[in-house]
Amino acid sequence: MKVVKFGGSSLATGSQLEKVLEIVKEDATRRIVVVSAPGKRYEEDMKVTDLLIACGEKKLAGEEIGNLIDTILERYVNIAKELDLSNEIIAKIEEDLLDVLNADNTNKNAYLEAVKACGEDNNAKLVAHFFNAKGVEAVYVNPKDAGLIVSDDPGNAQVLPASYDRLYSLREYKPIVVFPGFFGYSEKGDVITFSRSGSDITGAILANGVKAELYENFTDVDAVYSVNPSIVSSPKEIKELTYREMRELSYAGFSVFHAEALIPAYRAGIPVNVKNTNNPGVPGTRIVASRNNTNGPVIGIANDKGFCSIYISKYLMNREVGFARRILSILEEFQISYEHMPSGIDDLTIILREEQLAGKNEQEIIGRIKEELQAEEIVVEHNLALIMVVGEGMRHNVGTTARATKTLADAGVNIEMINQGSSEVSMMFGVKEPMAKKAVKALYEEFFSQKSLQN
Amino acid sequence: MKVVKFGGSSLATGSQLEKVLEIVKEDATRRIVVVSAPGKRYEEDMKVTDLLIACGEKKLAGEEIGNLIDTILERYVNIAKELDLSNEIIAKIEEDLLDVLNADNTNKNAYLEAVKACGEDNNAKLVAHFFNAKGVEAVYVNPKDAGLIVSDDPGNAQVLPASYDRLYSLREYKPIVVFPGFFGYSEKGDVITFSRSGSDITGAILANGVKAELYENFTDVDAVYSVNPSIVSSPKEIKELTYREMRELSYAGFSVFHAEALIPAYRAGIPVNVKNTNNPGVPGTRIVASRNNTNGPVIGIANDKGFCSIYISKYLMNREVGFARRILSILEEFQISYEHMPSGIDDLTIILREEQLAGKNEQEIIGRIKEELQAEEIVVEHNLALIMVVGEGMRHNVGTTARATKTLADAGVNIEMINQGSSEVSMMFGVKEPMAKKAVKALYEEFFSQKSLQN
């Protein structure tokens, strides 16, 4: 049994839904379909979820919503018309939309959560209706009925462990189950949404619950690429990578997939297959627990900007038991989480995301560290980028670090920071932001160009 | 005004003392002489301080001391005879030795401290006597009389700040001041010794107190070498290095000088000159606050073994605020101080000295971390060596890391860990112990061979 999730762009138009139907029909083991809300049809289009949020917020603010509801409904109507569906389903969606948007909104959070979720919910109903109309027996299943119960944490719901056992009974359905992504229900019965990539999370939870053999995640790209295609054109596609590699890449800017979304699948050891709705014949990218290393030491190169560093030095720092712990305690008081902490003998550097410092009093934090730890020098540096060179094959590969650092040197990129633990699934370089693209290009050339792969 | 310190091997025999006298006479600004106890005359010889400790401990244990006192006294007698000194000074030393060794030892700590210190104390008296006998006006000054007051921390005394002002009056002495190294007095008047390299510390404190222009530290080597001479024969001598470079090198095994000993001189910005008593004509090594970078990026390569690592991994570790802080708190409970903590996204590695784990329950520590942080995997690896490539010139030198890593790769040395902060005064590599010598040799060849210096 496979759980198949389709993203917003795979469900934006009637012709996209036809592709989805073909994909589901093609493999009899695709029994559970998780759907997002209709996404963008073209670059400047708006996603249904964004329209819903705009509408809900206007309602809450007591502002005029104009023809927003019509605009939203039209998205479903257009799809239904394109697919020759009956008015019955549109009437149903309209009724639900009006119910949700005109509901009592004394509890603002609960109101917005329900509004946000109805994009997926109605789309699931539409898709199920469409499947049935085309002779493929399907049934819409609501998360509450299926027992998908989550923590009462709006916008950041965590699945409650008891859900998994209940979800197992989804296996019993004869028709194909069409399930809305992005939300579950709290124990007291309120709609609660997941964080961004919420439909990916629903798919992973269902895959875990029904003990699927595979979790297929259909997007609009052929594969996860080995490097950001906006930096290197037509980069190599990744055929297979491990959860850990995916996690390291997604940490540093790979946005195709949020690694957190994978956790339920990861915990159950279920492979994930990222595929393209618009090109379902290509095998896509498989994310697995372990893989054979056949493609050289490096599988991907990621980069992310928006980091800063706090450099702290004090003569004989390393003789002071608890020095680093006290710094981290101060940061924790300010609710700041840090990323890395490379250290010399008498200095250490804390790498953190700029957003962690934003809105906080940088001077106050520096002052506290300076005073309480009697640090001699503290320097904050902004506009750093992190570059991650990722690959399980780097473990025990003597030359990879040398190749990477030489490549950066030859490209004239100064390395501000290197952080390499004993895991060696990744190597991390800190560089100044303006250097990042140049660095990534050079590293890609070194590890992925035809020339280097022949070596 | 210069403060001049002579180590034990510079004071082991009469002929060594004659060299010392010549050195002092040669420069009229050498006004304060700090002396160690007589050191080894040959490889298998015993230092006077070690004889004193052995004697004191036997006394405390109520054991027979045999002819130990004679053996100790003989060291001074031999020197005095060799230099044709009067019996008067020997009688004085003998009286003091017997006083100290036969004193009440109810307070064991205080007794041993006084015993340990009398090696230096009597040697200062002997040297002052010898200088006077040779027509060089000199005076023994006792630390208590000079106002060298320290914390009541036997074997690890810390100078009290008020001492510095009092020591300033040592400038007023007309005769050359001969000052015993290694100890001061507590506020209640007890002898308290410094940690190892204690005479170096005394010299640095005096240099600070009298605002010396230079602190000369006479040993038995021509210079600080750029690498351990037991690994590379006849390595390059370092002419000038910064406090910070010295500190990084001494951290990782350079034993000529303990960096802590320098602190008082460092704080006062006084340069330190390491020189050779047996070859005073050579300029030696200067340790300064800043230097011109003229000799390539690297000034020295140090290595030290006896490290181990604790690797901890947990999926999504970096989303947990306080994860590292909690690990460090557990280590602190066990009184364990760590050295470095490189990290990946979902893993971190704690590098520590083996001695920090010794005698502790490794399993208990691992268990605590596993349970309290719900870590998924914990691996302890022993027998690691750290290699430090040090040099102020590495800052902003694009290619140094590349050269170092390529060198290690070419030598077949796998890098277990790299830790490079934003300071870039040093680069640290963790390798397995059996690889360390090979790694150091290769790095030396790369950065110091004639070939590479011509580049």
pLDDT tens sequence across A146-189: 999 999 999 999 999 999 999 999 999 999 999 999 999 999 99
Q: What is the pLDDT of residue A21?
A: 98
Residues B93-122: tens digit of each pLDDT: 999 999 999 999 999 999 999 999 999 999
- A130-134 long-range Cβ contacts below 8 angstroms, 24+ apart: A130/A17, A130/A21, A130/A83, A130/A85, A131/A21, A131/A24, A131/A176, A131/A178, A133/A83, A133/A84, A133/A85, A133/A86, A134/A21
Q: What is the pLDDT of residue A137?
A: 98
Contacts of B338 in chain A (CB under 8 A): 324
Cα–Cα nearest to A428, from A318, A325, A299, A340 = A340
Is A314 at the interface with chain B, CB within 8 A?
A: no
% chain B with pLDDT above 70? 95
The residues with which B34 forms a beta bridge, in sequence order, are B5, B179
- B17-21 long-range Cβ contacts below 8 angstroms, 24+ apart: B17/B79, B17/B83, B17/B127, B17/B130, B18/B83, B19/B277, B19/B278, B19/B280, B20/B127, B20/B218, B20/B277, B21/B130, B21/B131, B21/B134, B21/B136
B303 in Cβ contact with B386 (< 8 Å):
yes
Q: What is the pLDDT of residue A452?
A: 52
Average pLDDT, chain B: 90
In total, the C-beta contacts within 8 angstroms joining chain A to chain B are 197
Q: What is the pLDDT of residue B428?
A: 87
Residues B345-398: tens digit of each pLDDT: 788 889 899 988 887 788 899 999 999 999 989 999 999 999 999 998 886 667
By mean pLDDT, which of A284-298, B20-34, B50-64 is the weakest? A284-298
Q: What's the gap between Cα B403 and its chain centre?
A: 30
Q: Is the pLDDT of residue A455 over 50?
A: no
pLDDT band at A454 (very low <50, low <70, confident <90, very high): very low
**Is the model more confident about B325 or about A34?**
A34
Closest chain B residue to the Cα of A428, Cα to Cα: B344
A392 labeled part of a ligand binding site: no
| Residue located via tokens 């619950």 | A209
Say how far apart CA A246 and CA A274 lie, in whole Å. 12
Q: What is the pLDDT of residue B360?
A: 76
Q: Is the pLDDT of residue B188 over 50?
A: yes
At A138, give phi and psi (nearest 5°): -145, 155
Would you tell me which residues 5-24 of chain A have a C-beta closer than 8 angstroms to some C-beta of chain B? none
Q: What is the pLDDT of residue B256?
A: 66
Q: What is the pLDDT of residue B295?
A: 67
Residue B236: count other Cβ atoms within 10 Å of its Cβ. Answer: 18
Cβ distance A405 to B409 less than 8 Å, yes or no, reads no
Cα–Cα nearest to A175, from A142, A146, A132, A208 = A132
Q: What is the pLDDT of residue B393?
A: 80
Say how far apart CA A314 and CA B200 lie, in whole Å. 21
Q: What is the pLDDT of residue B455?
A: 42
Cα–Cα nearest to A160, from A169, A170, A149 = A149
**Is the model more confident about B293 or about A222?**
A222
B384 in Cβ contact with B351 (< 8 Å):
yes
What is the nearest CA distance from A428 to chain B, expressed in angstroms?
Answer: 8
B206 in Cβ contact with B180 (< 8 Å):
no
Contacts of B402 in chain A (CB under 8 A): 402, 405-410
For each of the domains in chain B, give its residue range(s) and CATH number, in order of start. Answer: 2-220 (3.40.1160.10), 300-454 (3.30.2130.10)
Contacts of B318 in chain A (CB under 8 A): 251, 337, 339
Closest chain A residue to the Cα of B333, Cα to Cα: A322
Q: What is the pLDDT of residue A27?
A: 97
Cβ distance B266 to A414 less than 8 Å, yes or no, reads no
CB-based contacts of B330: which residues, under 8 Å, 6+ apart? Answer: B365, B368, B369, B372
Say how far apart CA B369 and CA B354 lie, in whole Å. 18
> What does the H/E/C string look like for chain A?
CEEEEECHHHHCCHHHHHHHHHHHHHCCCEEEEEECCCCCCCCCCCCHHHHHHHHHHHHHHCCCCCCHHHHHHHHHHHHHHHCCCCHHHHHHHHHHHHHHHCCCCCCHHHHHHHHHHHHHHHHHHHHHHHHHHCCCCEEECCHHHHCCEECCCCCCCCECCHHHHHHHHHHHCCCEEEEECCEEECCCCCEEECCCCHHHHHHHHHHHHCCCCEEEEEECCCCEECCCCCCCCCCCEECEEEHHHHHHHHHCCCCCCCHHHHHHHHHHCCCEEEEECCCCCCCCEEEECCCCCCCCCCCEEEEEEEEEEEEEECCCHHHCCCHHHHHHHHHHHCCCCCCECCECCCEEEEEEEHHHHCCCCHHHHHHHHHHHHCCCEEEEEEEEEEEEEECHHHCCCCCHHHHHHHHHHHCCCCCCEEEECCCCCEEEEEEEHHHHHHHHHHHHHHHHCHHHHHC
Contacts of A442 in chain B (CB under 8 A): none
Q: What is the pLDDT of residue A423?
A: 60
Cβ distance A421 to B315 less than 8 Å, yes or no, reads no
Q: Is the pLDDT of residue B452 over 60?
A: no
A226 in Cβ contact with A191 (< 8 Å):
no
The one-letter code for the residue type at B138 is A
Cα–Cα nearest to A431, from A446, A414, A419 = A414
Residues B114-165: tens digit of each pLDDT: 999 999 999 999 999 999 999 999 999 999 999 999 999 999 999 999 999 9
What is the nearest CA distance from B245 to chain A, expressed in angstroms?
Answer: 10
Say how far apart CA B93 and CA B118 lie, in whole Å. 9
| Residue located via tokens 């093609």 | A26
Most confident of A211-220, A304-313, A412-421, B222-231: A211-220
Strand B214-219 relative to strand B272-276: parallel, antiparallel, unpaired? parallel
Contacts of B340 in chain A (CB under 8 A): 342-343
What is the maximum span of chain A, computed from C-alpha positions, in angstroms?
78
A237 labeled part of a ligand binding site: no
Cα–Cα nearest to B307, from B384, B379, B365, B248 = B384
Would you tell me which residues 241-300 of chain A have a C-beta closer than 8 angstroms to some C-beta of chain B? 243-244, 247-248, 251, 259-260, 263, 266
Residues A387-445: tens digit of each pLDDT: 999 998 886 667 888 899 999 999 999 888 887 765 668 888 999 999 999 999 999 99
Cα–Cα nearest to A3, from A201, A245, A180, A210 = A210
Cβ distance A248 to B345 less than 8 Å, yes or no, reads yes
Is A346 at the interface with chain B, CB within 8 A?
A: yes
Residues A17-43: tens digit of each pLDDT: 999 999 999 999 999 999 999 999 999
Residues B13-40: tens digit of each pLDDT: 999 999 999 999 999 999 999 999 999 9
Q: What is the pLDDT of residue B454?
A: 44
The dihedral sign for the CA sequence A344, A348, A354, A355: positive
Question: Within 13 Å, how many C-alpha atoms sit on residue B436's CB side?
Answer: 24
Q: What is the pLDDT of residue A322?
A: 81
Residues A322-351: tens digit of each pLDDT: 888 899 899 988 888 888 888 777 888 898
Cβ distance A419 to B348 less than 8 Å, yes or no, reads no
Is B374 at the interface with chain A, CB within 8 A?
A: no
Say how far apart CA B318 and CA B347 lie, in whole Å. 8
Residues A47-86: tens digit of each pLDDT: 999 999 999 999 999 998 889 999 999 999 999 999 999 9
Residues B405-448: tens digit of each pLDDT: 999 999 999 888 887 765 668 888 999 999 999 999 999 999 99
What is the nearest CA distance from A40 to chain B, expressed in angstroms?
Answer: 30
Q: Which two tokens stand for residue A90?
A: 């549109």
% chain A with pLDDT above 70? 95
By mean pLDDT, which of A173-182, B44-53, B198-207, B221-230 is the weakest? B221-230
The residues with which B417 forms a beta bridge, in sequence order, are B430
Cα–Cα nearest to A385, from A429, A334, A442 = A429
